[in-house]
Amino acid sequence: MNGAERADTDGYQYAEVAVPVHVSSTFIYRLSISMRQLAQAGSRIVVPLGRKFVTGYIVALRENLRPGTSLQESDIKEAREILDAVPLVTPELLELTRWVAEYYLAPWGEVIRAALPPGISPTIDPFLSITERGRTELSGFPSNQTPTIKLRLLNLVGKSQEISLATVSNEFGDLQAMKLARALEEDGLVEIRQRSGTAFVKAKFQRRVRLVKTNQTPGDEPGRKLTEAQLRVIEALKAQDSLALPELLARANVSSSSVSTLQKRQMVEVFEVRLRRDPLGNAPFEPHLDYELTKDQEQVLAELDPPLRARAYAPFLLHGVTGSGKTEVYIRAMRVALSLGRSALMLVPEIALTPVFSRRLRMHFGDRVAIFHSSLSRGERFDEWTRVRNGDARIVIGTRSAVFAPVKDLGLVIVDEEHESTYRQQDSPHYNGRDTAIVRAQKESAIVILGSATPSLESFHNASTGKYHYLRLPNRLGNRPMAAAEIVDMREVFARYQKPRIFSDELLQAIEEARQKKEQSIILLNRRGYSSFVLCRSCGESVQCPNCDVTLTYHRSERVIICHYCNHREAAPLKCPSCEGKYIYYVGEGTQQIEEQLKKLFPSLRIARIDRDTSSRRGAFERSLMDFGEGKIDMLVGTQILAKGHDFPNVTLVGVISVDAGMALPDFRAAERTFQLLTQVAGRAGRGFRVGKVLIQTYHPYHYALRHASAQDYVGFYEEEIRHRQNHTYPPFVALASLLVHGADLARVKSEAVELRKELDRANPERAARILGPAPAPLARLKGEYRVQLLIKCRNRRELRKIIDEALKALNERKINLRSINVEIDPVSIM
Ligand code: ADP
Ligand code: ZN
């Protein structure tokens, strides 16, 4: 029963450690006697690796070296230091990150690091607090008996609301304090909670002032009457519990010396409180009314309810057009999860979407909502993470990496817009947030809802084979009609004018109509910048990025040409860099140019542009959207970022300048992407009571993705596309992996790719997998590196991973650096 005693005898000798470096295996380290008592799976540990020390994560503890391994006692190095007294990584997350590492062939240590908030301090100081049970235990103890050492500690903890482990250690010694605290926690008498440490990310404090007494008491020096300024301070504090110091100074219009004088005279008290860095700090908490759910919404919820209550894993695909009430369903399901004492996790595809959703969640759930995404400050991220780890926040909303949020008792996982490619992490570790979310739900017996108006082919396929339960919200709320989409054949426009034009007459006319009716419009283009490339009329050369295999894009506002992959920039040329000819011209249109031309054509319209250039500043994107929502802007011009998740009732026109570039990409998902984009963007029109209009300009009017998108016919598109996938053996009919060899030296990249192919063939003697390549990747050069690609298709997913794993291990043994090989399992794009 006594945890402290047990720890003495149990002391594991060895720790298995995952380190965040590019190797797939874990390492074994010896633990010193004192470390043995502290070591727990999930804690960070400093270990020697090569000539350096690195911080790794304990993934398991061992009593013996595994029998049968070639490891000798003498090979084993000793660990240096254990950083966490309370494991940073929960058992659930150890399990999930292990799955990610195995499935995506990524180093486990790298996955764990990606799962933790960045910049976390090397030491995390835990705090102890007494529980209800602890208090009962204390009060039941006969006062005439000498207390045990455990009870003495309990008593110490009971004296304050919270006490740091460091403080306890002063009295009991480091190891003893930790052991006792653990034992008390096991008995349910105290709670151990994380607090921020001292180094990188710190807890933030605020100085506040409160009134102690309003009048001078007889003890005060007579004759020292309060000054005008001091009286104003007291006046300002009277109505308040307390005020933040800066605010008080502003309100009373005094300098801080007035406050410190009052403090000396013990009339006011200055104290510190821990501040939570709240990413939504300035968001208004609007009151909300509960809608009466529609029949469809009721039905969907009725299906979600039983497995949620039964604590059983159940996957759902919620297929509903934009505006059909999906988000309302999510909120109701979250409420059920909370009422069961469980937590909910919601993933959204874009940072830009989190403010929209988190506001809505805040209205319903207040402080229980935590927000996870990469544009929060490190401090904010750490604070939010801590609130979740401690169980204070039970609803998490965030982008991809929020799938690793340390929520307790997960009941509900939502992946909104599940088809979005942003769920796939582009850098190592290459995991897919959606698929990881499904696995997490499975491991933690939660239900998972994949929501989309245009489900990915894979998910719809899974629903049609019965792997997912299929839920449908077929209608828009209030039965508003979907906007009719018209395809504008730009070949006709070309024939009419005998030259290419950006805007068809149809589109210009529709904009004019919207303008006259004072309705709003959205103009979408898939390309930021001013024009897509710079061409010389004399020699026909285009200006290329020196590092990448792409042309540079002209940005007129700064008069520079920019590479959108590596961000290389140079001044826009006045003459052709290759032939010195001076007839340079610009081909293709970017968002900047479209915006400029529309401003010329419609001077009375208030037009704003939204794309990655304007939205890189935090808040700028949100502000434009808010202004648009409030009618301060008439037209938004932008890239596909505009197609997602916003609800503007006064938008009646959506114009798509051109979709052709996207359809022509050498990627098996090009048609699916185009269909999704157009369907989503069409969903932006006519969200209110007016009928919407969608115009799509194209040179390929008969492409099946366009036809089905303009008819808003998902199933029609699915059936046609799934046949293509089957005929060409692409996912979901095979598992696919892409192996990209990259490096600055082309000859070496090529020879490594050839060696890789040889090893893959050797690992594939039965020819279970089909291996394609090596061949230059569609983007053959990027950021100064050459890229050569191999694709592997296999009907058996496990077999696929085994073949790749074996080949990589063989290469590693031959001392070929695996850093130059990028492995992607289930790539979302093969560009
Ligand atoms: P989706 O997520 O499918 O786009 P939302 O849940 O955001 O749909 O609903 C669209 C709009 O309709 C929102 O403004 C929402 O507040 C409102 N809404 C949702 N459910 C109802 C309902 N049952 N009755 C009335 N309005 C609703
Ligand atoms: Zn470049």
pLDDT at 529: 55
Residue 325 has pLDDT above 60, yes or no: yes
Most confident of 4-13, 228-237, 474-483, 573-582: 228-237
Pick the ligand that lies closest to the CA of residue 687: 1
Kindly report which listed range (137-141, 481-485, 508-512) carries the lowest average pLDDT score. Answer: 481-485
Q: What percent of the chain has pLDDT over 90?
A: 34
Pick the ligand that lies closest to the CA of residue 563: 2
Binding site membership of 301 for ligand 1 (Cβ less than 6 Å):
no
Binding site membership of 451 for ligand 1 (Cβ less than 6 Å):
no
Would you place residue 317 in the very low, low, confident or very high pLDDT band (cuts 50, 70, 90)? very high
Kindly report which listed range (138-152, 385-399, 403-417) carries the lowest average pLDDT score. Answer: 138-152
Binding site membership of 325 for ligand 1 (Cβ less than 6 Å):
yes
Residue 613 has pLDDT above 70, yes or no: no
Euclidean distance between CA atoms 522 and 624, whole angstroms: 13
pLDDT at 199: 35
Pick the ligand that lies closest to the CA of residue 779: 2
Closest CA to 111 of 404, 459, 328: 404
Span 175-213, pLDDT tens digits: 778 788 888 888 889 887 765 443 345 556 678 888 887
If you take atom 24 of ligand 1, which residue's CA is the nearest one?
291
Binding site membership of 293 for ligand 1 (Cβ less than 6 Å):
yes
Whole-number Å distance, alpha carbon 163 to ligand 2 midpoint, is: 53
Residue of 192 and 466 predicted with greater confidence: 466
Would you place residue 370 in the very low, low, confident or very high pLDDT band (cuts 50, 70, 90)? very high
Kindly report which listed range (156-160, 338-342, 416-420, 749-753) carries the lowest average pLDDT score. Answer: 156-160
CA geometry: angle 125, 385, 282, nearest 5 deg: 115
Whole-number Å distance, alpha carbon 471 to ligand 1 midpoint, is: 17
Query: Which atom of ligand 1 is found nearest the CA of 331?
Result: 6
All residues at 6 or more sequence positions from 431 whose CB lies less than 8 Å from its CB, including other chains: 100, 103, 104, 106, 111, 114, 424, 425
Whole-number Å distance, alpha carbon 743 to ligand 1 midpoint, is: 50
Residue 83 has pLDDT above 50, yes or no: yes
Residue 324 has pLDDT above 80, yes or no: yes
Query: Which atom of ligand 1 is found nearest the CA of 323?
Result: 4
End-to-end CA distance of the chain: 59
Residue 314 has pLDDT above 80, yes or no: yes
Binding site membership of 680 for ligand 1 (Cβ less than 6 Å):
no
Query: Which atom of ligand 1 is found nearest the CA of 360?
Result: 16
Whole-number Å distance, alpha carbon 440 to ligand 1 midpoint, is: 28
Please state, rounded to an integer, the average pLDDT across all residues of the chain.
83
Ligand 1 pocket test target in 296, 298, 328 with most atoms within 8 Å of CB: 328
Binding site membership of 475 for ligand 1 (Cβ less than 6 Å):
no
Whole-number Å distance, alpha carbon 243 to ligand 1 midpoint, is: 39
Span 807-828, pLDDT tens digits: 998 998 888 888 889 999 998 7
Would you place residue 533 in the very low, low, confident or very high pLDDT band (cuts 50, 70, 90)? low
Most confident of 78-87, 151-160, 338-347, 666-675: 338-347
Kindly report which listed range (225-229, 355-359, 652-656, 772-776) carries the lowest average pLDDT score. Answer: 355-359
Euclidean distance between CA atoms 190 and 724, whole angstroms: 60
Pick the ligand that lies closest to the CA of residue 545: 2
Residue 550 has pLDDT above 80, yes or no: no
Span 473-502, pLDDT tens digits: 988 777 666 666 788 998 888 888 887 788
Pick the ligand that lies closest to the CA of residue 783: 2
If you take atom 9 of ligand 1, which residue's CA is the nearest one?
325
Query: Which atom of ligand 1 is found nearest the CA of 329?
Result: 6
Pick the ligand that lies closest to the CA of residue 567: 2
Most confident of 148-152, 375-379, 408-412: 408-412
Whole-number Å distance, alpha carbon 739 to ligand 1 midpoint, is: 43
Binding site membership of 288 for ligand 1 (Cβ less than 6 Å):
no
Residue 46 vs residues 49, 647, 829: alpha-carbon distances, Å: 9, 49, 38
- Cβ–Cβ < 8 Å for 762, 819: no
Residue of 142 and 758 predicted with greater confidence: 758
**Could you write out the DSSP letters of every residue in 94-149?**
HHHHHHHHHHTT--HHHHHHHHSPTT--S-B--EEEE-HHHHHHHHTS-TTSPPPH
For residue 439, the surrounding DSSP H or E stretch is helix 433-443
- Alpha carbon 232 to its chain's center: 48
pLDDT at 615: 52
Most confident of 18-27, 670-679, 709-718, 756-765: 756-765
pLDDT at 198: 35
Binding site membership of 97 for ligand 1 (Cβ less than 6 Å):
no
Would you place residue 436 in the very low, low, confident or very high pLDDT band (cuts 50, 70, 90)? very high
Binding site membership of 296 for ligand 1 (Cβ less than 6 Å):
no
The whole-number average pLDDT for the span 610-625 is 68
Would you place residue 687 in the very low, low, confident or very high pLDDT band (cuts 50, 70, 90)? low
pLDDT at 699: 82
Ligand 1 pocket test target in 294, 324, 477 with most atoms within 8 Å of CB: 477
- Alpha carbon 707 to its chain's center: 33
Binding site membership of 323 for ligand 1 (Cβ less than 6 Å):
yes
Residue of 705 and 620 predicted with greater confidence: 705
pLDDT at 376: 81
Whole-number Å distance, alpha carbon 771 to ligand 2 midpoint, is: 29
Residue 686 has pLDDT above 60, yes or no: no
pLDDT at 645: 54
Pick the ligand that lies closest to the CA of residue 649: 1
Binding site membership of 324 for ligand 1 (Cβ less than 6 Å):
yes
Kindly report which listed range (123-132, 242-251, 463-472) carries the lowest average pLDDT score. Answer: 123-132
Would you place residue 12 in the very low, low, confident or very high pLDDT band (cuts 50, 70, 90)? confident
If you take atom 8 of ligand 1, which residue's CA is the nearest one?
325
Residue of 215 and 429 predicted with greater confidence: 429
Q: Which long-range contacts (CB under 8 A, 24 or more apart) does 158-166 make?
A: 158/130, 158/134, 161/129, 162/127, 162/128, 162/129, 162/193, 163/127, 163/128, 163/129, 164/125, 164/126, 164/127, 164/128, 164/195, 165/85, 165/125, 165/126, 165/127, 165/128, 165/192, 166/125
The whole-number average pLDDT for the span 16-21 is 90
Sheet of strand 27-30: strand arrangement: 77-78, 27-30, 14-18, 52-62, 44-49, 81-82
Euclidean distance between CA atoms 478 and 686, whole angstroms: 12
